[in-house]
Amino acid sequence: MTQSDDSLAATLLRRDCPLAPLIALAGITVLAACWAVFSPPVVLSTEMTWDLLFNLSGAWHLRFGHMPHVDFHEAVGQLTFILTQIGLEVAGPSPQALLVGVGIVTGFVFILATFAAWRRLPLIPAVLFVVFVCLLAVRPANVGDSPNAYSFAMTYNRYGWAGISIIGLILFVPPRRRGWADVADMAVVAALSVALFYLKVTYFAVAIASIVVALAVSPHVATRWRGWAVICLLCPALVLAPFNKPYIADLMATIQAGVVRDDVSFYLNDFAENAAEYAPYFAAVAIALWLWWRGKSSLGVPVATAFLLLAGLGLLSQNSQSHSVPLAVVIAFLLYQTLQRQQAATALLCALLLFPIASIVGATASIAGYHARTEAGNLKVVDATNLRGLAVPAEPDGVIAAFASGHGGARLLNRARAVRPRYELSPYEYVQTLEEAAALLRDNGLAAGKIATLDQVDPLPFMLGLEPPRGGNLWSGAGAPTLPAETYLADVDVVLIPKFTTNIGWTQTAQATYRAYLDAHFEHRAEGRSWIVLIRARR
Protein backbone atom coordinates (compact mmCIF):
# COMPACT_ATOMS: atom_id res chain seq x y z
CA MET A 1 0.00 0.00 0.00
CA THR A 2 1.40 3.41 -0.96
CA GLN A 3 1.69 6.37 1.40
CA SER A 4 -1.25 8.07 -0.32
CA ASP A 5 -3.30 4.92 0.16
CA ASP A 6 -2.40 4.92 3.87
CA SER A 7 -3.43 8.55 4.11
CA LEU A 8 -6.77 7.88 2.44
CA ALA A 9 -7.46 4.89 4.71
CA ALA A 10 -6.60 6.97 7.75
CA THR A 11 -8.93 9.73 6.63
CA LEU A 12 -11.85 7.39 5.97
CA LEU A 13 -11.38 4.86 8.77
CA ARG A 14 -9.42 6.47 11.58
CA ARG A 15 -9.53 10.28 11.68
CA ASP A 16 -12.24 12.58 12.98
CA CYS A 17 -15.28 12.72 10.76
CA PRO A 18 -15.90 15.90 8.71
CA LEU A 19 -19.56 16.86 8.96
CA ALA A 20 -20.25 17.94 5.36
CA PRO A 21 -19.12 14.69 3.66
CA LEU A 22 -21.02 12.69 6.29
CA ILE A 23 -24.26 14.55 5.57
CA ALA A 24 -23.73 14.30 1.82
CA LEU A 25 -22.85 10.58 1.64
CA ALA A 26 -25.43 9.39 4.15
CA GLY A 27 -28.04 11.86 2.92
CA ILE A 28 -27.88 10.74 -0.71
CA THR A 29 -28.27 7.09 0.32
CA VAL A 30 -31.19 7.76 2.67
CA LEU A 31 -32.95 9.99 0.14
CA ALA A 32 -32.65 7.25 -2.49
CA ALA A 33 -34.21 4.76 -0.05
CA CYS A 34 -37.04 7.17 0.76
CA TRP A 35 -37.71 7.74 -2.93
CA ALA A 36 -37.91 3.99 -3.54
CA VAL A 37 -40.53 3.55 -0.80
CA PHE A 38 -42.51 6.79 -1.16
CA SER A 39 -42.63 7.28 -4.95
CA PRO A 40 -44.89 4.37 -5.98
CA PRO A 41 -48.54 5.40 -6.42
CA VAL A 42 -49.64 2.55 -4.14
CA VAL A 43 -48.88 1.40 -0.61
CA LEU A 44 -48.04 -2.29 -0.83
CA SER A 45 -48.88 -4.71 1.98
CA THR A 46 -48.09 -8.40 1.66
CA GLU A 47 -48.16 -9.24 5.38
CA MET A 48 -50.45 -8.33 8.31
CA THR A 49 -52.52 -5.81 6.38
CA TRP A 50 -54.86 -5.43 9.35
CA ASP A 51 -51.98 -3.99 11.38
CA LEU A 52 -51.52 -1.23 8.79
CA LEU A 53 -55.21 -0.45 9.31
CA PHE A 54 -54.64 -0.52 13.07
CA ASN A 55 -52.27 2.43 12.60
CA LEU A 56 -54.69 4.29 10.35
CA SER A 57 -57.59 3.61 12.71
CA GLY A 58 -55.68 5.05 15.67
CA ALA A 59 -54.88 8.21 13.72
CA TRP A 60 -58.53 8.39 12.63
CA HIS A 61 -59.60 8.47 16.28
CA LEU A 62 -57.23 11.39 16.89
CA ARG A 63 -58.61 13.26 13.90
CA PHE A 64 -62.02 13.29 15.59
CA GLY A 65 -60.53 14.62 18.82
CA HIS A 66 -60.62 11.32 20.69
CA MET A 67 -58.24 11.00 23.63
CA PRO A 68 -55.85 8.02 23.54
CA HIS A 69 -56.33 5.60 26.46
CA VAL A 70 -59.62 7.33 27.34
CA ASP A 71 -61.81 7.26 24.22
CA PHE A 72 -59.98 4.23 22.85
CA HIS A 73 -57.67 1.80 24.60
CA GLU A 74 -54.29 0.51 23.49
CA ALA A 75 -51.04 -0.46 25.24
CA VAL A 76 -48.90 1.04 22.44
CA GLY A 77 -48.19 4.73 22.97
CA GLN A 78 -49.89 7.45 20.96
CA LEU A 79 -46.81 8.72 19.08
CA THR A 80 -47.33 6.26 16.21
CA PHE A 81 -50.86 7.53 15.70
CA ILE A 82 -49.88 11.18 16.01
CA LEU A 83 -47.38 10.74 13.17
CA THR A 84 -50.04 9.16 10.96
CA GLN A 85 -52.53 11.86 11.97
CA ILE A 86 -50.08 14.43 10.60
CA GLY A 87 -50.02 12.31 7.45
CA LEU A 88 -53.81 12.49 7.26
CA GLU A 89 -53.57 16.28 7.25
CA VAL A 90 -50.84 16.25 4.59
CA ALA A 91 -51.95 13.43 2.29
CA GLY A 92 -55.63 13.21 3.15
CA PRO A 93 -57.47 10.10 4.37
CA SER A 94 -55.57 7.38 2.54
CA PRO A 95 -52.86 4.77 3.25
CA GLN A 96 -50.28 7.32 2.05
CA ALA A 97 -50.76 9.08 5.40
CA LEU A 98 -48.74 6.33 7.05
CA LEU A 99 -45.78 7.02 4.73
CA VAL A 100 -45.78 10.67 5.78
CA GLY A 101 -45.20 9.50 9.36
CA VAL A 102 -42.38 7.23 8.19
CA GLY A 103 -40.78 10.19 6.42
CA ILE A 104 -41.01 12.39 9.52
CA VAL A 105 -39.35 9.77 11.71
CA THR A 106 -36.63 9.11 9.12
CA GLY A 107 -35.82 12.83 8.99
CA PHE A 108 -35.45 13.12 12.76
CA VAL A 109 -33.47 9.87 12.95
CA PHE A 110 -31.11 11.18 10.27
CA ILE A 111 -30.43 14.41 12.19
CA LEU A 112 -29.86 12.73 15.57
CA ALA A 113 -27.82 9.84 14.17
CA THR A 114 -25.64 12.22 12.18
CA PHE A 115 -24.91 14.27 15.30
CA ALA A 116 -24.10 11.17 17.38
CA ALA A 117 -21.90 9.51 14.73
CA TRP A 118 -20.07 12.73 13.74
CA ARG A 119 -18.79 13.12 17.31
CA ARG A 120 -17.68 9.51 17.68
CA LEU A 121 -16.71 7.78 14.47
CA PRO A 122 -14.49 8.27 11.40
CA LEU A 123 -16.20 9.02 8.10
CA ILE A 124 -16.96 5.54 6.72
CA PRO A 125 -18.19 4.04 10.02
CA ALA A 126 -20.24 7.20 10.65
CA VAL A 127 -21.91 6.96 7.24
CA LEU A 128 -22.68 3.29 7.85
CA PHE A 129 -24.25 4.01 11.22
CA VAL A 130 -26.45 6.84 9.93
CA VAL A 131 -27.60 4.83 6.92
CA PHE A 132 -28.21 1.76 9.08
CA VAL A 133 -30.53 3.46 11.60
CA CYS A 134 -32.37 5.42 8.91
CA LEU A 135 -33.06 2.25 6.92
CA LEU A 136 -34.42 0.68 10.10
CA ALA A 137 -37.11 3.36 10.05
CA VAL A 138 -37.85 3.49 6.32
CA ARG A 139 -37.62 -0.19 5.36
CA PRO A 140 -40.99 -1.74 4.36
CA ALA A 141 -40.44 -4.98 6.31
CA ASN A 142 -40.08 -5.75 10.00
CA VAL A 143 -36.69 -6.41 11.54
CA GLY A 144 -36.39 -10.18 11.80
CA ASP A 145 -38.86 -10.90 9.01
CA SER A 146 -38.02 -11.91 5.46
CA PRO A 147 -36.92 -8.90 3.36
CA ASN A 148 -39.83 -9.52 0.98
CA ALA A 149 -42.47 -9.69 3.74
CA TYR A 150 -43.56 -6.18 2.84
CA SER A 151 -45.56 -4.76 5.68
CA PHE A 152 -46.15 -1.50 7.50
CA ALA A 153 -47.30 -3.42 10.55
CA MET A 154 -45.68 -2.55 13.88
CA THR A 155 -43.79 0.46 12.57
CA TYR A 156 -43.24 1.40 16.21
CA ASN A 157 -40.74 -1.46 16.52
CA ARG A 158 -38.67 -0.14 13.60
CA TYR A 159 -38.71 3.35 15.08
CA GLY A 160 -37.87 1.92 18.49
CA TRP A 161 -34.85 -0.03 17.23
CA ALA A 162 -33.55 3.10 15.49
CA GLY A 163 -33.99 5.26 18.58
CA ILE A 164 -32.43 2.80 21.01
CA SER A 165 -29.47 2.28 18.65
CA ILE A 166 -28.73 6.02 18.68
CA ILE A 167 -28.99 6.05 22.48
CA GLY A 168 -26.62 3.08 22.68
CA LEU A 169 -24.02 4.76 20.48
CA ILE A 170 -24.14 7.97 22.53
CA LEU A 171 -23.90 6.22 25.89
CA PHE A 172 -21.33 3.51 25.19
CA VAL A 173 -19.07 4.85 22.43
CA PRO A 174 -16.98 7.76 23.78
CA PRO A 175 -17.00 10.99 21.76
CA ARG A 176 -13.84 12.24 20.08
CA ARG A 177 -14.96 15.79 20.71
CA ARG A 178 -15.78 16.99 24.24
CA GLY A 179 -17.32 20.21 25.48
CA TRP A 180 -20.72 21.81 24.93
CA ALA A 181 -21.85 18.92 22.76
CA ASP A 182 -21.86 16.66 25.83
CA VAL A 183 -24.93 18.59 26.97
CA ALA A 184 -26.43 18.12 23.51
CA ASP A 185 -25.88 14.36 23.94
CA MET A 186 -27.95 14.51 27.09
CA ALA A 187 -30.69 16.42 25.31
CA VAL A 188 -30.76 13.88 22.47
CA VAL A 189 -30.97 10.90 24.84
CA ALA A 190 -33.65 12.60 26.96
CA ALA A 191 -35.74 13.50 23.90
CA LEU A 192 -35.43 9.99 22.44
CA SER A 193 -36.31 8.41 25.80
CA VAL A 194 -39.50 10.48 26.05
CA ALA A 195 -40.36 9.61 22.44
CA LEU A 196 -39.80 5.91 23.16
CA PHE A 197 -42.11 6.11 26.18
CA TYR A 198 -44.93 7.33 23.94
CA LEU A 199 -43.94 4.83 21.26
CA LYS A 200 -43.61 1.51 23.12
CA VAL A 201 -42.75 1.27 26.78
CA THR A 202 -40.27 -1.63 26.46
CA TYR A 203 -37.87 0.56 24.46
CA PHE A 204 -38.24 3.29 27.08
CA ALA A 205 -37.31 0.81 29.84
CA VAL A 206 -34.17 -0.23 27.94
CA ALA A 207 -33.26 3.44 27.40
CA ILE A 208 -33.36 4.15 31.16
CA ALA A 209 -31.45 0.94 31.93
CA SER A 210 -28.83 1.98 29.36
CA ILE A 211 -28.24 5.29 31.15
CA VAL A 212 -27.82 3.51 34.49
CA VAL A 213 -25.32 1.02 33.05
CA ALA A 214 -23.44 3.78 31.19
CA LEU A 215 -23.07 5.75 34.43
CA ALA A 216 -21.18 2.74 35.79
CA VAL A 217 -19.06 1.74 32.80
CA SER A 218 -18.71 4.74 30.42
CA PRO A 219 -16.21 7.37 31.64
CA HIS A 220 -17.60 10.07 29.33
CA VAL A 221 -21.01 9.58 30.97
CA ALA A 222 -19.67 9.23 34.52
CA THR A 223 -17.79 12.53 34.31
CA ARG A 224 -21.10 14.33 33.83
CA TRP A 225 -23.04 12.09 36.20
CA ARG A 226 -25.17 14.87 37.64
CA GLY A 227 -26.80 15.70 34.31
CA TRP A 228 -27.35 12.06 33.41
CA ALA A 229 -28.74 11.36 36.88
CA VAL A 230 -31.26 14.14 36.39
CA ILE A 231 -32.45 12.45 33.20
CA CYS A 232 -32.77 9.13 35.05
CA LEU A 233 -34.95 10.82 37.67
CA LEU A 234 -37.05 12.93 35.33
CA CYS A 235 -37.97 10.07 33.00
CA PRO A 236 -39.61 7.96 35.74
CA ALA A 237 -41.32 11.14 36.93
CA LEU A 238 -42.80 11.40 33.45
CA VAL A 239 -44.24 7.91 33.86
CA LEU A 240 -45.92 8.91 37.13
CA ALA A 241 -47.26 12.23 35.85
CA PRO A 242 -51.05 12.56 36.32
CA PHE A 243 -51.69 13.03 32.58
CA ASN A 244 -50.15 9.60 31.91
CA LYS A 245 -52.43 7.69 34.30
CA PRO A 246 -54.77 6.47 31.52
CA TYR A 247 -51.76 5.23 29.53
CA ILE A 248 -50.40 3.38 32.55
CA ALA A 249 -53.85 1.92 33.21
CA ASP A 250 -53.96 0.54 29.66
CA LEU A 251 -50.48 -0.91 30.09
CA MET A 252 -51.39 -2.61 33.36
CA ALA A 253 -54.64 -3.98 31.91
CA THR A 254 -52.73 -5.43 28.97
CA ILE A 255 -50.08 -6.96 31.23
CA GLN A 256 -52.76 -8.54 33.40
CA ALA A 257 -54.44 -9.93 30.28
CA GLY A 258 -51.25 -11.88 29.54
CA VAL A 259 -49.65 -9.98 26.65
CA VAL A 260 -46.16 -10.23 28.22
CA ARG A 261 -44.27 -13.13 26.68
CA ASP A 262 -42.71 -15.02 29.60
CA ASP A 263 -42.50 -18.59 28.33
CA VAL A 264 -38.83 -19.55 28.66
CA SER A 265 -39.21 -22.54 26.36
CA PHE A 266 -40.53 -20.19 23.66
CA TYR A 267 -37.33 -18.11 23.88
CA LEU A 268 -35.10 -21.17 23.89
CA ASN A 269 -36.81 -22.52 20.79
CA ASP A 270 -36.34 -19.20 18.97
CA PHE A 271 -32.70 -19.11 20.05
CA ALA A 272 -32.07 -22.66 18.83
CA GLU A 273 -33.79 -21.94 15.53
CA ASN A 274 -31.55 -18.90 14.90
CA ALA A 275 -28.39 -20.02 16.73
CA ALA A 276 -26.14 -19.36 13.73
CA GLU A 277 -27.24 -15.72 13.64
CA TYR A 278 -26.62 -15.24 17.37
CA ALA A 279 -23.13 -16.79 17.25
CA PRO A 280 -21.38 -13.57 16.05
CA TYR A 281 -23.13 -11.60 18.81
CA PHE A 282 -21.71 -13.84 21.52
CA ALA A 283 -18.37 -13.92 19.73
CA ALA A 284 -18.30 -10.13 20.06
CA VAL A 285 -18.78 -10.46 23.83
CA ALA A 286 -15.92 -12.97 23.92
CA ILE A 287 -13.67 -10.58 21.95
CA ALA A 288 -14.50 -7.75 24.35
CA LEU A 289 -13.61 -9.97 27.32
CA TRP A 290 -10.36 -10.96 25.64
CA LEU A 291 -9.44 -7.31 25.04
CA TRP A 292 -10.04 -6.53 28.72
CA TRP A 293 -8.11 -9.64 29.84
CA ARG A 294 -5.15 -8.56 27.71
CA GLY A 295 -5.29 -5.07 29.16
CA LYS A 296 -6.26 -3.47 25.87
CA SER A 297 -9.57 -2.09 27.12
CA SER A 298 -11.32 -1.21 30.33
CA LEU A 299 -13.78 -3.58 31.99
CA GLY A 300 -16.50 -1.26 30.77
CA VAL A 301 -16.13 -2.53 27.19
CA PRO A 302 -17.15 -6.16 27.84
CA VAL A 303 -19.81 -5.04 30.33
CA ALA A 304 -21.32 -2.64 27.78
CA THR A 305 -21.10 -5.29 25.07
CA ALA A 306 -22.90 -7.86 27.18
CA PHE A 307 -25.53 -5.34 28.25
CA LEU A 308 -26.27 -4.27 24.67
CA LEU A 309 -26.71 -7.89 23.62
CA LEU A 310 -28.94 -8.78 26.58
CA ALA A 311 -30.97 -5.59 26.17
CA GLY A 312 -31.50 -6.36 22.49
CA LEU A 313 -32.57 -9.91 23.26
CA GLY A 314 -34.93 -8.59 25.94
CA LEU A 315 -36.56 -6.22 23.46
CA LEU A 316 -36.80 -8.99 20.89
CA SER A 317 -38.54 -11.25 23.41
CA GLN A 318 -41.50 -8.84 23.54
CA ASN A 319 -41.76 -8.37 19.76
CA SER A 320 -43.57 -10.57 17.28
CA GLN A 321 -40.34 -11.25 15.37
CA SER A 322 -38.13 -14.07 16.61
CA HIS A 323 -34.63 -13.00 15.60
CA SER A 324 -32.29 -10.14 14.59
CA VAL A 325 -30.93 -7.71 17.19
CA PRO A 326 -30.06 -4.30 15.65
CA LEU A 327 -28.31 -3.20 18.87
CA ALA A 328 -25.51 -5.58 17.89
CA VAL A 329 -24.44 -2.93 15.37
CA VAL A 330 -23.61 -0.61 18.29
CA ILE A 331 -21.39 -3.40 19.66
CA ALA A 332 -19.53 -3.47 16.34
CA PHE A 333 -18.83 0.26 16.52
CA LEU A 334 -17.79 0.04 20.20
CA LEU A 335 -15.24 -2.66 19.34
CA TYR A 336 -14.19 -0.69 16.27
CA GLN A 337 -13.31 2.35 18.37
CA THR A 338 -11.58 0.21 21.00
CA LEU A 339 -9.38 -1.54 18.45
CA GLN A 340 -8.70 1.67 16.59
CA ARG A 341 -7.20 3.16 19.75
CA GLN A 342 -4.96 0.10 19.94
CA GLN A 343 -3.75 0.86 16.40
CA ALA A 344 -5.23 -2.36 15.08
CA ALA A 345 -4.67 -3.27 11.43
CA THR A 346 -6.92 -1.63 8.87
CA ALA A 347 -8.09 -5.05 7.66
CA LEU A 348 -9.36 -5.90 11.16
CA LEU A 349 -11.23 -2.59 11.41
CA CYS A 350 -12.83 -3.24 8.04
CA ALA A 351 -13.88 -6.71 9.21
CA LEU A 352 -15.81 -5.16 12.10
CA LEU A 353 -17.77 -3.08 9.60
CA LEU A 354 -19.08 -6.19 7.85
CA PHE A 355 -21.98 -6.47 10.30
CA PRO A 356 -23.48 -3.03 9.67
CA ILE A 357 -22.77 -3.48 5.95
CA ALA A 358 -24.63 -6.80 5.93
CA SER A 359 -27.57 -5.20 7.76
CA ILE A 360 -27.66 -2.36 5.25
CA VAL A 361 -27.55 -4.81 2.36
CA GLY A 362 -30.54 -6.66 3.81
CA ALA A 363 -32.53 -3.44 4.27
CA THR A 364 -31.56 -2.25 0.79
CA ALA A 365 -32.74 -5.52 -0.73
CA SER A 366 -36.08 -5.10 1.03
CA ILE A 367 -36.49 -1.51 -0.16
CA ALA A 368 -35.45 -2.24 -3.75
CA GLY A 369 -37.68 -5.30 -3.85
CA TYR A 370 -40.61 -3.29 -2.55
CA HIS A 371 -40.21 -0.68 -5.26
CA ALA A 372 -39.89 -3.35 -7.97
CA ARG A 373 -42.90 -5.26 -6.64
CA THR A 374 -45.14 -2.19 -6.90
CA GLU A 375 -44.31 -2.00 -10.62
CA ALA A 376 -44.45 -5.72 -11.38
CA GLY A 377 -48.23 -6.01 -11.64
CA ASN A 378 -50.37 -8.87 -10.34
CA LEU A 379 -51.63 -6.62 -7.54
CA LYS A 380 -55.09 -6.02 -6.20
CA VAL A 381 -55.39 -2.23 -5.75
CA VAL A 382 -58.28 -0.82 -3.74
CA ASP A 383 -59.98 1.89 -5.82
CA ALA A 384 -62.82 2.98 -3.51
CA THR A 385 -63.29 4.20 0.07
CA ASN A 386 -60.46 5.80 2.03
CA LEU A 387 -58.42 2.64 1.44
CA ARG A 388 -57.90 3.57 -2.21
CA GLY A 389 -54.27 3.16 -3.13
CA LEU A 390 -53.71 0.14 -0.89
CA ALA A 391 -52.23 -2.75 -2.89
CA VAL A 392 -52.02 -6.42 -1.94
CA PRO A 393 -50.85 -9.44 -3.95
CA ALA A 394 -53.59 -10.61 -6.30
CA GLU A 395 -54.86 -14.17 -5.97
CA PRO A 396 -57.24 -16.32 -8.01
CA ASP A 397 -60.69 -15.62 -6.62
CA GLY A 398 -63.04 -18.21 -5.25
CA VAL A 399 -61.79 -19.60 -1.93
CA ILE A 400 -64.00 -17.42 0.29
CA ALA A 401 -66.92 -17.75 -2.11
CA ALA A 402 -66.58 -21.52 -2.12
CA PHE A 403 -66.43 -21.78 1.66
CA ALA A 404 -69.35 -19.34 2.01
CA SER A 405 -71.55 -21.30 -0.38
CA GLY A 406 -70.62 -24.71 0.97
CA HIS A 407 -70.16 -26.02 -2.57
CA GLY A 408 -66.43 -25.86 -2.98
CA GLY A 409 -65.92 -29.18 -4.66
CA ALA A 410 -63.06 -31.64 -4.30
CA ARG A 411 -60.38 -29.15 -5.34
CA LEU A 412 -61.21 -26.62 -2.62
CA LEU A 413 -58.74 -28.17 -0.21
CA ASN A 414 -55.95 -27.97 -2.81
CA ARG A 415 -56.84 -24.37 -3.62
CA ALA A 416 -56.88 -23.35 0.05
CA ARG A 417 -53.51 -24.98 0.76
CA ALA A 418 -51.91 -23.48 -2.35
CA VAL A 419 -52.35 -19.92 -1.06
CA ARG A 420 -50.42 -20.66 2.17
CA PRO A 421 -51.04 -17.47 4.13
CA ARG A 422 -49.14 -17.09 7.42
CA TYR A 423 -52.36 -16.03 9.10
CA GLU A 424 -56.04 -16.91 8.99
CA LEU A 425 -56.68 -14.64 6.01
CA SER A 426 -54.32 -13.63 3.24
CA PRO A 427 -54.02 -9.87 2.57
CA TYR A 428 -56.07 -10.34 -0.60
CA GLU A 429 -58.84 -12.15 1.24
CA TYR A 430 -58.83 -9.60 4.05
CA VAL A 431 -59.16 -6.64 1.68
CA GLN A 432 -61.81 -8.51 -0.26
CA THR A 433 -63.93 -8.96 2.87
CA LEU A 434 -63.52 -5.27 3.81
CA GLU A 435 -64.71 -4.18 0.38
CA GLU A 436 -67.69 -6.52 0.78
CA ALA A 437 -68.48 -4.97 4.16
CA ALA A 438 -68.42 -1.42 2.76
CA ALA A 439 -70.68 -2.44 -0.14
CA LEU A 440 -73.06 -4.33 2.16
CA LEU A 441 -73.45 -1.32 4.44
CA ARG A 442 -73.99 1.09 1.55
CA ASP A 443 -76.46 -1.17 -0.26
CA ASN A 444 -78.57 -1.39 2.90
CA GLY A 445 -78.34 2.29 3.81
CA LEU A 446 -76.21 1.54 6.88
CA ALA A 447 -73.00 3.39 5.98
CA ALA A 448 -73.61 5.91 8.75
CA GLY A 449 -73.37 6.18 12.51
CA LYS A 450 -70.70 4.51 14.61
CA ILE A 451 -69.54 1.07 13.51
CA ALA A 452 -67.80 -1.68 15.49
CA THR A 453 -66.30 -4.84 14.01
CA LEU A 454 -65.79 -7.99 16.06
CA ASP A 455 -62.33 -8.59 14.62
CA GLN A 456 -58.78 -7.66 15.64
CA VAL A 457 -59.10 -4.21 14.08
CA ASP A 458 -62.09 -2.01 13.25
CA PRO A 459 -61.19 -0.28 9.94
CA LEU A 460 -64.72 0.47 8.66
CA PRO A 461 -65.01 3.97 10.22
CA PHE A 462 -61.78 5.02 8.49
CA MET A 463 -62.78 3.38 5.21
CA LEU A 464 -66.18 5.10 5.13
CA GLY A 465 -65.05 8.43 6.60
CA LEU A 466 -67.19 8.05 9.73
CA GLU A 467 -66.44 8.93 13.33
CA PRO A 468 -65.32 5.79 15.19
CA PRO A 469 -67.12 4.78 18.39
CA ARG A 470 -65.57 5.63 21.72
CA GLY A 471 -64.71 3.16 24.45
CA GLY A 472 -63.29 0.12 22.65
CA ASN A 473 -59.86 -1.41 22.15
CA LEU A 474 -57.96 -0.24 19.11
CA TRP A 475 -56.60 -3.75 18.71
CA SER A 476 -58.22 -6.95 19.95
CA GLY A 477 -56.73 -10.40 20.00
CA ALA A 478 -54.58 -12.70 22.11
CA GLY A 479 -53.46 -10.81 25.21
CA ALA A 480 -55.78 -7.83 24.75
CA PRO A 481 -58.15 -7.10 27.66
CA THR A 482 -61.81 -7.97 27.04
CA LEU A 483 -63.78 -4.84 27.88
CA PRO A 484 -67.27 -4.87 29.40
CA ALA A 485 -70.09 -4.59 26.87
CA GLU A 486 -71.25 -1.30 28.42
CA THR A 487 -67.79 0.16 27.76
CA TYR A 488 -67.19 -1.29 24.31
CA LEU A 489 -70.66 -1.14 22.71
CA ALA A 490 -72.48 1.73 24.41
CA ASP A 491 -71.45 4.22 21.69
CA VAL A 492 -72.02 1.80 18.79
CA ASP A 493 -74.84 1.99 16.22
CA VAL A 494 -73.82 -0.86 13.89
CA VAL A 495 -72.00 -4.11 14.69
CA LEU A 496 -70.36 -6.23 11.99
CA ILE A 497 -69.60 -9.87 12.77
CA PRO A 498 -67.13 -11.42 10.30
CA LYS A 499 -67.71 -14.93 9.06
CA PHE A 500 -64.07 -15.01 7.91
CA THR A 501 -61.99 -13.36 10.61
CA THR A 502 -58.32 -12.51 11.06
CA ASN A 503 -58.48 -14.05 14.56
CA ILE A 504 -61.20 -16.63 15.10
CA GLY A 505 -60.36 -16.90 18.80
CA TRP A 506 -61.12 -13.23 19.45
CA THR A 507 -64.28 -13.21 17.31
CA GLN A 508 -65.69 -16.24 19.10
CA THR A 509 -64.79 -14.78 22.50
CA ALA A 510 -66.43 -11.48 21.58
CA GLN A 511 -69.61 -13.19 20.37
CA ALA A 512 -69.84 -15.20 23.58
CA THR A 513 -69.00 -12.26 25.85
CA TYR A 514 -71.33 -9.75 24.21
CA ARG A 515 -74.16 -12.06 23.13
CA ALA A 516 -76.54 -11.01 25.91
CA TYR A 517 -75.91 -7.31 25.27
CA LEU A 518 -76.27 -7.71 21.51
CA ASP A 519 -79.50 -9.70 21.90
CA ALA A 520 -80.92 -7.01 24.19
CA HIS A 521 -79.88 -3.91 22.25
CA PHE A 522 -79.33 -4.91 18.60
CA GLU A 523 -81.29 -6.60 15.85
CA HIS A 524 -80.28 -8.49 12.72
CA ARG A 525 -80.45 -6.21 9.69
CA ALA A 526 -78.43 -7.70 6.84
CA GLU A 527 -76.20 -10.61 5.93
CA GLY A 528 -73.73 -11.09 3.12
CA ARG A 529 -71.21 -13.65 2.02
CA SER A 530 -68.66 -12.61 4.65
CA TRP A 531 -70.58 -10.53 7.22
CA ILE A 532 -73.54 -10.37 9.56
CA VAL A 533 -74.77 -6.83 10.26
CA LEU A 534 -76.60 -5.86 13.45
CA ILE A 535 -78.10 -2.42 14.11
CA ARG A 536 -79.12 -0.85 17.39
CA ALA A 537 -82.78 -1.53 18.04
CA ARG A 538 -85.10 1.46 18.26
CA ARG A 539 -87.19 1.88 21.38
Gap between the Cα atoms of 502 and 174, Å rounded: 48
Kindly report each contact of residues 201-205 with a partner whose C-beta sits within 8 Å and lies 24 or more positions away, as own/partner: 201/75, 201/77, 201/251, 202/160, 202/314, 202/315, 202/318, 203/160, 203/161, 203/163, 203/164, 203/315, 204/235
Looking at residue 250, its pLDDT comes to 87
Has residue 469 got a pLDDT over 60? yes
Range of lowest pLDDT (34-48, 343-357, 368-382, 514-528): 343-357
DSSP codes joined into one string, 408-440: --TTHHHHHHHH--SSSS-HHHHHHHHHHHHHH
395-417 confidence digits (pLDDT tens):
877 677 666 666 666 666 666 66
Looking at residue 344, its pLDDT comes to 64
Has residue 532 got a pLDDT over 80? yes
Has residue 8 got a pLDDT over 70? no
Gap between the Cα atoms of 457 and 453, Å rounded: 7
Looking at residue 295, its pLDDT comes to 85
Spell out the residues 6+ positions from residue 439 whose beta carbon is closer than 8 angstroms to its own.
Answer: none
Looking at residue 5, its pLDDT comes to 47
Look at the chain and count its residues: 539
Q: What is the largest CA-CA distance in the chain?
A: 91
500-510 confidence digits (pLDDT tens):
888 888 888 88
Looking at residue 325, its pLDDT comes to 80
Mean pLDDT of the chain: 87
User: Parallel, antiparallel, or unpaired for β 531-536 and 522-527?
Assistant: antiparallel
The band of 421, judged by pLDDT with boundaries at 50, 70 and 90, is: low
Range of lowest pLDDT (34-38, 306-310, 459-463): 306-310
Range of lowest pLDDT (67-71, 295-299, 447-451, 531-535): 295-299
Give the mean model confidence (pLDDT) for residues 492-516: 90
250-303 confidence digits (pLDDT tens):
888 887 766 666 566 666 676 666 667 778 888 888 888 988 898 888 898 899
